[in-house]
Amino acid sequence: MNQKKQRVWLITGASRGIGLAAARRALAAGDKVVIVSRGICADVVISEYPETCLALQADVSDAAQMQQLVSQVAEQWGAVDVIVNNAGQHRGGRIGKLEEDDWQAVLATNLTGAMNTIKACDPHMGEAASIINVGAVVGFRGFPGDSAYAASKSGLAGLTRALSIEYARKGITVNLVIPGLVLTEMTAGLSDKALQSMCGMIPLQRYGEADEIAEVIEWVSQSRYMTGAFVPVDGGLMSTFGLPS
């Protein structure tokens, strides 16, 4: 019987929420995982998987930091087989009150950060590698006061499609997973009224769980004939207004 190849995952924004859930699934499957975060790392996960989990701190918006981090990973574990661009920052405000620094910070993390990570990993990805960008429903449907986050996630969708064509000749897939409303630390700042209003728009009438998104991320990473795809995991929310073809 063929043994399953032990893959090396690099997951940004992986100290909590969807990123941490994806890391746990990959580790449980026997793969190696690099947890990348700007702040506190997930010590509990590291202690559970001391041989296969590596936690490194870096700011994805800093290209030099990501180059240094990936070089360290490559030296220790060789190739990078799965990239999950999950690092995200949310700063809201209607256009008249949106600060320039907030706009730049969101784009730098959510969009440029994904590009920095992919560019750093590029020399270390072989055939059958998988790049998974984590988008957002707001990247396809506008919400007032959310222009920075929406622009960054819409840009990530465009990046996904362009790179899916660019990497196809190398056998590397690039896909976008689109979570719906998931209760994480990022959404903790929303009021109960806002959460209830958003939940009412979801056909399944409930929030998503981080592990439900991670389950799809794991599946997408294994699919070899799907690339350039947008995969909603949103309880049906995208179906209420359609997904661009």
DSSP letters spanning 120-170: HHGGG--TT-EEEEE--GGGTS--TT-HHHHHHHHHHHHHHHHHHHHHHTT
Task: Give 12's Cβ-side CA count (13 Å radius).
Answer: 33
Ramachandran area for residue 197 (φ above 0: left; ψ -120 to 50: alpha; else beta): alpha
- Written as six digits, the tokens of 108 are 């730098």
- Written as six digits, the tokens of 179 are 């979570």
Catalytic residues: 149
Instruction: Report the alpha-carbon distance of residue 20 to residue 51 in Å, rounded.
Output: 17
Instruction: For residue 36, give the H/E element and its range.
Output: strand 32-37
Please report, in angstroms and rounded to a whole number, the separation of the first and last CA atoms in the chain: 41
**CA dist 60 → 28, 82, 118, 156 (Å):** 26, 16, 10, 14
Q: Which of 221, 235, 232, 210 is nearest to 24 (CA)?
A: 210
Instruction: Report the alpha-carbon distance of residue 206 to residue 234 in Å, rounded.
Output: 10
